[in-house]
Chain A
Amino acid sequence: MGAKHTWIDVTELVAWKGFPTGIPRVTYNLVTRYADHADVSLVAFHRRSRQFREVDAQTILEFTRRQFRERSQPKGRRSNQVPSLAVPLESASERLRSQPPLYFARISTRAMHFVLGRPALRRLAWSVLRRLPRTEARLRAAYARDASWVTERQGQFTYGLTDPSPLRRYLYSMHAAAHPARFSPGDRLIVLGAGWLSDSFQEALAELRRGVGLLVYQVLYDLAPIVLPHSFGPGFAESFTRYLFEAAALSDGLIAISASSRSEALAFCESVLLPPPTIEVFRLGDEGAPANEPSTPVSELENTTFVLSVGTFELRKNYHLLYQVWRLGAERPSEELPQLVIVGKRGWAAGDTMLAMAGDPMVNDSITVLHGVSDGELEWLYENCLFTIYPSLYEGWGLPIAESLAHGKLCLASNASAMPEVAGDLIEYFSPYDAGECFNLVVRHLEPSILHAKEREIAQRYVPTSWQESFRQFDAALRRIEGQLAP
């Protein structure tokens, strides 16, 4: 069956806050390969109007490239100390208190929403407030901030309303002024990004599918918030569950980033008696970031032998296991471990582990935590480490494993979820709940002959996946799904 026109949803690229990692990176790499096609257009979801609006491909791709370039620059923020230990991660309400809305908005968020939600009261309020200089602008600003806070508290993680970047603001205004996409029956809409950012996103997709007859395909990343709900902020697991339930119910097909995610999604559908959609699998590319920065030495590690671990510093990445492993090493002087270098921005519920690593005199000199590392520095870290280690409790894929192998480095990885899919029998695995097993593996691979043998095997057998190949697999998966749809 031939779809008439292909629409790619790039809401993440328009609205993602902060530096583009993970999902925006996948979106960018696939979109750049779709963007050349004449029958492909880009859209992004405009939450307030619940519409998908057209986005200019050149603008959004250039904007994302700039972000990658920005990302690749060193931020000068690296530390093996624990920042702000007293407040592990500020909650939304704490943030609100620290940044109170402007004067009358302080009265009560609920009261303000009550007024703003009723046209007559809103008109009345604004007719009064307009007489005060700049009041309306202040109200709008306060409302925007509160709207962001409220939706986040409800577990609908919104975005964009508080982003300060002028370029980003330009992008928002461009998007807000854009025409709604003119979908036709039989067109296909491919959602590459995070469809869980707003409940109304999936609702809008369902309406389009029913009303217009769009074919909807969505990328399935992982089920981490369902498998490990405690490793995310309050409310997120429920929000994500609603997303997955609706996405699976409405999509004509899902394209998963691993067989593990696919089987978990099928099990999810079965658990709630949801007829499962067709789910195909494609492999993510493991080329470096698009900026392709040259290798840049990290000066403080230039003469150090170290093991590298890459990933957001959060509960799910299970760095506490590495703390335990290095603590075991410290207790056995005969088996001295090299420096452990952890590279990752700080995420959810990282406080206790950071406290242990920074405060335990047995290990605090042998563990280094780096934040704000540039792509060039990361390249150098991969090139110069002994091997990498990835103890995550759960992953939809495990990009750091692939990146490690692409650099010819062995990765000792957790045997959970999708991680064994990345490198099969080329690498060694341990239970993410067994520090002793992990310790023994680390010690074993400190033996140069064993490590070099593994590196030779990786060099001979591991074939990195380019994003072009990833795109080819994605497109093929899409066609397989379309081939299975009833005419």
Chain B
Amino acid sequence: MRGPRREVWGWLLAGLVVWTLFRAAEFDPALLWQGGQGALFDFAAGFWPPAKDGPFLSIVVLAVGQTLAMATAGVFFAAILAWPLALLATPVLAEPPGGVVFRGWCGKWTRAAIRGVLVVMRGIPDLVWALLFVRAVGLGATAAVWALAIAYAGMLGKVYGELFEMAREPAAALLASGSGKTGALVHGVLPVVLPDVISYTIYRWECGIRASVVMGFVGAGGLGQQIELSLRMFEGGQVLTLLLALLILVALADRLSAQLRRAFA
């Protein structure tokens, strides 16, 4: 049985940990009231009414379109990059088991190296990739597309690889009966994995839309860049309109993604 004294110590320790965390996070609600309560309320009140003049609305529509294009192109490139990476990272087409996937590639070490590359690609957050690309190729949508392509190729490569493992037996059977690697891929692996590959890729496209919105905050184009601009100019009404556009875009993308996945299922 636990004594009450031990329980008290437990609570004290938990309290100390929580206190330390909030101190390290420099948490101080008084900061919000620093400029007088008025400042916060003025800030919130500035958001009403939403901006709805013609020229601004056309900017919003263009920004939404650009965000959609960024996510679509980014995930498309990610999927193209992920296929060869996933094939190299898994032994599904290796013959004999533990051998090489493509002629001239040393099996085990290639797999380990490619796995490491995939870990780094998805381990560095997509927003960090976006910032690095903005510095390298300049402001705009291009940075977001390549950031998404790399970060998501890391994730897709891992998941495709796991799916390929499920096709090991049919692929091995085909290889054993003298079929070539291409034949084993097309007739052994694809039929097993394709539905799941498509479904997961569409799901990632849905995530990619959210990610591309956020990437705009580091200058990578689309809706996020517009929100950042309006916020910097203290145009609260414009920010509210853009946020509403964001909510509608994400909700519609969720629905479209669900429908597409059903169509391919």
Q: Do A and B bind each other?
A: no
| Chain B contacts to A: CB under 8 angstroms | none
